[in-house]
Amino acid sequence: MNIYVCIKQVPDTETKIKLNADSSWIDTTGIKWIMSPFDEFAVEEALRLKEKNAGSTVTVLSAGPTRVVDAIRTALAMGCDNGIHIEIPENADNNYAAKALAGALKKEAKVDIVFTGKEAIDDGAAQTSQLIAEYFGIPAVTVVLNVEYGATSVKCKREVEGGAFEMIESSLPVLIAAQKGMNEPRYASLPNIMKAKKKEVKSLKGADVDASDADQKIKFKNFQLPPPKQAGKKIPGDIPVAAKELVRLLHEEAKVV
């Protein structure tokens, strides 16, 4: 099988975010970048499918500035075979990225299945997967927890609101967007990390995959950081007196009761 995974590099959740000078984007200086956690489930699922189908290959793709190659190499260290980087601007929106990723997929000889994470943890838009499928011309199943693989089709268990699930069957090729809980992503071993540094990552420009600045549908401006949290209050006194004062504060100041 020819298996593909589309991933995104995002700021580490523990990174302190600052804005750039004109508040049009974040200041990327000193940020620690990681593969988006939902994409780790997608990579793991692709590798497990490869292990069940002898002769299969897993190719990982990412669109963005040069730094995203590091995320590609993380996937290669986990066990992926090939990498493709499509260079697009730092602040490209979901549509621009999806157009670029789909364009790269179209250049491949044969695509049997595409995996993605259900969303990226930086913007949480949950749009890119569906847009890739639309541009590439294949069905998409999102928020997937489990997949039964057949010779020419898949059956996907997906999560819907209210704790309910639904089963969707699709023919191949198909795009599957992974939800947390689909599997347990593996850690890259030291030998594989060293090997990944030597693996070739194919580099493409936006023009190579029919993507350009004209595909940018959203322009960003006036970013604002959330207001700082107010300091907590300590209520002195005996328990009955403190409890009464707590109820008063919750009612009159916090207005939650």
* 148 shares its domain with 247: no
Whether 169 and 44 map to the same domain: the answer is yes
State the total domains in the chain.
Answer: 2
Positive or negative, the CA dihedral 210, 77, 26, 135 is positive
CB 139 within 8 A of CB 170: yes
**pLDDT for 233:** 82
User: What pLDDT score was predicted for residue 67?
Assistant: 95
> Is residue 171 located within the same domain as residue 47?
yes
Q: Is there a single domain that holds both residue 11 and residue 102?
A: yes
Q: 196 with 162: CB under 8 angstroms?
A: no
d(CA 171, CA 189): 35
Query: Is the separation of the CB atoms in 52 and 86 below 8 Å?
Result: no
**pLDDT at res. 215:** 96
Q: How confident is the model at residue 142, as a pLDDT?
A: 96
Q: Does residue 27 lie within any of the structural domains?
A: yes
In this structure, are 53 and 89 located in the same domain?
A: yes
pLDDT < 70 positions in the chain? none
Q: Is residue 222 part of a domain?
A: no
Q: Please, which residues have CB within 8 angstroms of residue 47's CB and are 6 or more apart in sequence?
A: 58, 78, 79, 80, 186
Asked whether residue 143 falls in the same domain as residue 241, the answer is no
CATH of the domain at 25: 3.40.50.620
145 assigned to some structural domain? yes
Going by C-alpha positions, the residue among 170, 153, 58 that lies closest to residue 114 is 58
Q: Are residues 187 and 166 in the same domain?
A: yes
pTM for this model (two decimals): 0.87
Closest Cα to residue 149, out of 172, 130, 118, 167?
172
Burial of residue 161 (CB within 10 Å: 0-12, 13-18, 19+) is: exposed
pLDDT in tens, 193-212: 999 998 989 999 999 999 99
For residue 3, the model assigns a pLDDT of 98
Q: Does 127 share its domain with 234?
A: no
pLDDT given for residue 117 in this prediction: 97
Reading the block at residue 18, the tokens are 């600052």
The predicted structure's pLDDT at residue 26: 85
| CA 123/CA 218 separation, integer angstroms | 13
Would you say residue 187 lies in a domain?
yes
Identify the pLDDT of residue 135: 97
Residue 161 sits in the same domain as residue 198: yes
State whether 114 and 135 are in the same domain. Answer: yes
Do 138 and 14 fall into the same domain?
Answer: yes
Residues 251 and 180 grouped into a single domain: no
Domain coverage including residue 233? 227-257
Residue 61 lies in a domain: yes
Q: What is the pLDDT of residue 102?
A: 98
Other beta carbons within 10 Å of 231: 6
